[in-house]
Amino acid sequence: MLSDQLREFLVSGPHKKQRKAQAMLAFGGAAHVRVQWRRHRDELMSSTPMGKRPWAFWMIERGLSHQPQGERGELRLIKQLDLYRDAAEKEFVQKRLAVITAKLRSHWHRRVA
């Protein structure tokens, strides 16, 4: 069974002042954390909303050194790497990116004008 603390770590990552290695040691070491991620991956993935992934997906499974920055960063990476869970998520990600991009363009055009 997955403890609430380990679940939170796998979904959200270490606390701001805590390093990844220190946090993993607190949960029994990197090997144990990776095993727990593999065991509970499907459950944790399905508990996250469309266009989002748990911290462990990016850091453990995909091996990134840093989690994508913000909603736009995460959506762009999902799109670039074709990491859609299904057709509905693909449509959601593409529409959401279009909305975010339009807002950014509008913002920058107002600042330049």
Contact (Cβ atoms closer than 8 angstroms) between residue 32 and residue 40: no
- Check whether 16 has a pLDDT greater than 60: yes
Contact (Cβ atoms closer than 8 angstroms) between residue 62 and residue 54: no
In whole angstroms, what is the distance from residue 43 CA to residue 11 CA?
A: 11
For 17-73, write each residue's pLDDT tens digit.
788 888 899 999 999 999 999 999 999 999 999 999 999 999 999 999 889 999 999
pLDDT value of residue 45: 97
Rounded to the nearest integer, the mean pLDDT of the chain is 92
In whole angstroms, what is the distance from residue 82 CA to residue 27 CA?
A: 31
pLDDT interval class at 110 (50, 70, 90): low
Using alpha carbons, list the distances in angstroms from residue 42 to 21, 67, 85, 93, 101.
24, 19, 11, 20, 30
pLDDT value of residue 48: 96
Q: Is 29 helix (H, G, I), strand (E, B) or coil?
A: coil
Q: What percent of the chain has pLDDT over 70?
A: 96
Nearest Cα to Cα of residue 53 among 40, 67, 66: 67
